[in-house]
Structure 1
Amino acid sequence: MAKDDDMEIINPPNTLKSKVREGGPGAVDLATLERAENVIAEMADTYLEWVQEDLKRLDESFKALAAASGDGKTEAESVFQIAHDIKGQGGSFGYDLMTLIANELCRLIERQDEFGPPEVQAVKVHIDAMKLVIQNRMKGDGGANGQALVDGIRQVGDKLNK
């Protein structure tokens, strides 16, 4: 049995370098990459306008969820879609907390079978947290305040799912 325990480490060849070209057709053009980065930087200025519109839409969807009869799944799906959009955009424009909080909101919605008062309140906490991030222009991870905010959001989700 001892001989069966011998192992051999096999390192596969790394052929990636042979597939990436330096110059010529299909190669990464550094000037194009720099132009793209500049466009994204310019778009960052308008991100705050876009996210304000998303937050307004999120408020409207939340109102429908809060007023919903039945399990609220249809109304929660609308909240999910908007939060998913916010999640995708936040980090691209330096608002990593928006991505984190929107992701937590999406995961919270996915885990629920119905949306009664506790679930609706948890959704509201997430939305209010996103508004706070934008209102205070909390870019990046938000430092200690950002970490405290994310920790609080996660506690809400954990408490709800116990």
Structure 2
Amino acid sequence: MARDKTDGLKVETFEAHQVITQPNPLRKYVRHTDERDTDDPVARAEEALAGLSGEFKSWMDEECARLARAFEVVKKDGFTSQNREELFRAAHDIKGDATTFGYPKAAVAAESLCRILEHAPELMTVPSDLIAHHVHAIQAIVRELPKGRSRTKDTADELSTRLRKLADEFLIEANRDRPEHLEAVLAPSIVPAD
């Protein structure tokens, strides 16, 4: 193995190949701190999050209201691309925020709704009740879960699981002639488990 240096590049030559490593120009921007510096950015972020936690319920209520409004527009005007996009964005935002805000079961139901909106070949063939059940489940979970009863958490878990199963059954049937979509439909949930 031979080593060459050309214009800051490190070149290692082996019998069958070469490995070229570029210099890291970011090294000069790295700030070195004293080990006694106790600043912990993760701890600061967690502290800031804890300070905001009193707002989580109202934020989730707002997201649920946005989801309900989007669904009402879809029921009234049908699935235009704009209506579909707004319903998807509302569900997607809940999917992303719910676990952080303390509503992981709402995230599971919202993910299930997103999957329907993303993978149904014709949204007009999606049973309105299937979407309504998802919207109402998300609202109920957000409304009831803060009360903290274990029975409520068990019910939310069962509800989310059943909705996912119904969504999967619908999507498998709807995509039976589109095998390229079946892999995505059958993929496991990406929502973190609580």
TM-score scaled by structure 2? 0.61
Q: 1:156 aligns with which of 142, 163, 166?
A: 166
**Aligned residues between the structures:** 138
Higher-Rg member (1/2) = 2
- Structure 2 gaps, min length 5: 1-26, 174-194
Aligned to 2:56: 47
Aligned to 2:155: 145
Kindly tell me: are residues 130 and 109 of structure 1, through their superposed partners in 2, closer, same or farther at Cα, counting changes over 3 Å? same
RCO (CA 8 Å, sep 6+): is it higher in 1 or 2?
A: 1
What RMSD, in angstroms, separates the aligned Cα atoms of the two structures? 2.8
CA distance in 1, matches of 2:88, 2:158: 23
1:61 aligns with 2:70: yes
Name the % identity. Answer: 22
Contact persistence 2:98–2:107 (CA under 8 A): yes
TM-score scaled by structure 1? 0.72
Aligned to 1:135: 143
CA distance in 1, matches of 2:70, 2:157: 27
Contact persistence 1:83–1:105 (CA under 8 A): yes
CA distance in 2, matches of 1:143, 1:53: 21
- Structure 1 gaps, min length 5: 1-18
Contact persistence 2:106–2:160 (CA under 8 A): no
State how 1:1-162 maps to structure 2 within 5 Å: 24=33, 30-69=39-78, 71-116=79-124, 118-137=126-145, 143-161=153-171, 162=173
Higher strand share: 2
**1:96 is matched by which residue type in structure 2?**
P
